[in-house]
Amino acid sequence: MTAPLDVSGASAQVPPEATLAGAGRAVQGRSLTRIAWMRLRRDKVALSGGIVVIFLILVAIFATPIISLFGHDPLEFHQEAIDPNTLLPLGDFGGMSAEYPLGVEPVNGRDIFSRIVAGAGISLLIGFLATMVSVLIGTVMGVIAGYFGGWVDQIIGRIMDVFLAFPLLVFAIALVGVMPNEGFGLEGNGLRIAMLIFIIGFFSWPSIGRIVRGQTLSLREREFVDAARSLGARNGYILFREILPNLMAPILVYATLLIPANILFEAALSFLGVGVNPPTPTWGGMLSEAVRFYTLPHFVIFPGLAIFITVLAFNLFGDGLRDAFDPRAH
């Protein structure tokens, strides 16, 4: 007899009310990414961080028109705005005026506004690309270490230890300071920026590597990996189809949080005088010049603020992203 309670046949389609509103109709499922995105949209702080980031990216992309609209060529000297004896800007507040919205630099009278706008591009470029380098290395190393384990893991773990124990800044200085001028088909500032990206990225991969390794270790133990293996999947399939999609969220989150760190790293290198070659403006470089003119607040404050706002915006956004992807935060 078929008991009235038995409905285990083909008709048991009670939708999980927890997640589905209109039962049965919404055929397209909502992926975790979309859910995270919806959560993110509700997080006003993170969103405003994101907006600032987008704004900064736009500024970086449209630096040239912005500068031609509001300022002067960032490299152009304006001796007329400088007191020839003290070399300090003429006028109050570092020479701030409609002509020079944020004042001018001492000595050569370059327009601080346009230098800061132009500097955004370098900061973001290096921040982004260096992060990509570290994400790339970190992910590959982390996945390999986590997935294959054993002695591979041991070796990669030791390598990460070595990187951790390196006084990174000191090394970066030593390296950047003695970099050759031509190579890899690049020269001059192009090579310099490429080198900076590589060095910064190369030195910060272990942070991502560790996270990816940890995640991979735990993912590897998840039963869906065994499921794939029992279906006869090769390592490549398991790595790329099963594990990597699950790593995307943490990688994205930590990449977002690594970008500001790398921007700070670049600024620190520029501050120590081993950043991008002058006269290309960078925020860290401007700060390092400002040290000599610390009595000029505008010279110190604006590049400092630019770094601060950029880093803060990325941090806010990255933080929100992490919360959005991590249901525990709710």
Partner 1 sequence: MSFLDVKDLKIHFPTDDGLVRSVDGLTFSLERGRTLGIVGESGSGKSVTSLGILGLHKGGRAQISGEIWLDGEDLVSMPAEQVRGLRGKKMAMIFQDPLSSMHPYYTVGHQIIEAYRIHHDVSKQVARKHAIDLLGRVGIPEPARRVDSYPHEFSGGMRQRAMIAMALSCDPELLIADEPTTALDVTVQAQILDLMRDLQREFNSALIIITHDLGVVAELSDDILVMYAGKCVEYGTADDIFYRPEHPYTWGLLGSMPRLDREPTDRLLPIKGSPPSLINVPQGCAFHPRCPYSERTEGRASAEVPDLAPTERGHLVRCHLPRAERRELWENEIKPVLETQ
Partner 2 sequence: MLTYIIRRFIGAIAMLIIISMVTFGIFFVVPQWAGSSPEALASRYVGRAATEETVALVAERLGFNDPVIVQYGRFVKGIFVGAEYDYGAGVEQCPAPCFGYSFISGQPVWPDLLDRMPVTFSLAIGAAFLWVVGGVFVGVVSALRRGTLFDRLSMGTALAGVSLPIFFTGMVTLVVFSYGLGWTPPGGSWTDFTVNPGEWAYNLLLPWITLAFLFAATYARLTRAGMLETMGEDYIRTARAKGLRERDVVVKHGLRAALTPILTLFGIDFGLLIGGAVLTETTYTLPGLGQFAILAIRNQDLPQVMGVVLFAACFVVIASLVVDLLYAWVDPRVRLS
Partner 3 sequence: GGGGGTQQQPAQSASGGAAQPVADAALTQVYNPSTKKGGTLKAAHSGDWDSLDPADTYYGYSFNFGRLYWRTLTMYKPGPGPEGNTVIPDLAESLGEPSSDGKSWTYKIKQGVKFEDGTPITSKDVAYAVARSFDKETFPHGPSYLNELLAWPEDFKGVYKTPDADYSSAVETPDDQTIVFKLKKPFASMDYVVQMPMTAPVPKDKDTGAKYREKVVSSGPYKFESNEIGKRFALVRNDQWDPATDPNRPALPDRIEVQLNVNADDLDNQLISGDIHLDIPGTGLQPAALGKVLPDPALKARTDNPVIPRLWFVSVIPEAPPLDNVECRKAVLWAADRVANQTAYGGPVAGGDIATNVMPPPVVGQEKFDLYQTPENKGDVEKAKQALAACGHPDGFETTMTYRAERPREKALAEAMQQALAKVNIKLTLKGFPASSYFSDYAGNVEYQKKNKIGLAGHGWGSDWPDGYGFMQAIVDSRTIRDAGNYNLSVKSDKVDSLIDQASGELDATARGKLWVDVDKAVMEDASILPVVWAKALLLRGEGVTNVAYNEGQSMYDYILLGVE
Which of 43, 111, 266, 289: binder of partner 3 (CB under 8 A)?
Answer: 289
Shortest reach from residue 330's CB to partner 1, in Å: 6
With DSSP H G I counted as helix, E B as strand and the rest as coil, what are the percentages for the chain, rounded to 5?
A: 70, 0, 30
Q: Does 40 bind partner 2 (CB under 8 A)?
A: no
List, as own/partner pairs, every contact residues 81-85 make where C-beta atoms lie below 8 angstroms and the sequence separation is at least 24, other chains included. Answer: 81/109, 82/106, 82/107, 82/108, 82/109
Name the phi and psi angles at 83, rounded to 5.
-70, 120
First to last CA, the chain: 48
Q: Binding-site residue total for partner 3 (CB under 8 A)?
A: 32
12 or 178, CB closer to partner 1? 12
Query: To 10 degrees, the CA torsion angle through 243, 218, 208, 328?
Result: 100
Determine if 8 is a binding residue for partner 1 (CB under 8 A): yes
Is position 235 an interface residue for partner 3 (rule: CB under 8 A)?
Answer: no
106 binds, among partner 2, partner 1, partner 3, none (CB under 5 to 8 A by kind): partner 3
184 lies in the site for partner 2, by CB under 8 A: no
Per CB under 8 A, 150 contacts partner 1: no
CB nearer partner 2, residue 111 or residue 319:
319
Residue whose tokens read 């010279």: 299
Contact positions with partner 1 (CB under 8 A) in 18-37: 18
Considering only the stretches 3-11, 88-96, 256-264, 312-320, report the one whose residues sit in contact with partner 1 under the rule CB under 8 A. 3-11
Out of 273, 301, 305, 315, the residue judged to bind partner 3 by CB under 8 A: 273
| Residue 214 binds which entry of partner 3, partner 2, partner 1, none, CB below 5-8 Å type-dependent | none
In whole angstroms, how far apart are CA 17 and each of 20, 36, 100, 304, 324?
Answer: 5, 19, 61, 51, 22
- E strands, 79-223, where? 182-183, 186-187
Q: Which is nearer to partner 1, 196 or 321 (CB)?
A: 321
CA distances 31 to 25, 235, 281, 329, Å, are 16, 25, 43, 18
Q: How far is the CB of 293 from partner 2 (least distance, A)?
A: 11
Positive or negative: CA dihedral 76, 80, 82, 85: positive
CA 157, CA 152: separation in Å to the nearest integer? 8
Does residue 154 belong to the site contacting partner 3 (CB under 8 A)? no
Q: Which amino acid is at 58?
A: L
By the rule CB under 8 A, 175 interacts with partner 2: yes
Instruction: Using CB under 8 A, list all residues that contact partner 1.
Output: 1, 3-8, 12, 14, 16-18, 330
Instruction: Using CB under 8 A, list all residues that contact partner 3.
Output: 75-77, 79, 82, 84-88, 106-108, 177-178, 181-182, 187-189, 273-274, 277-279, 289, 291-296
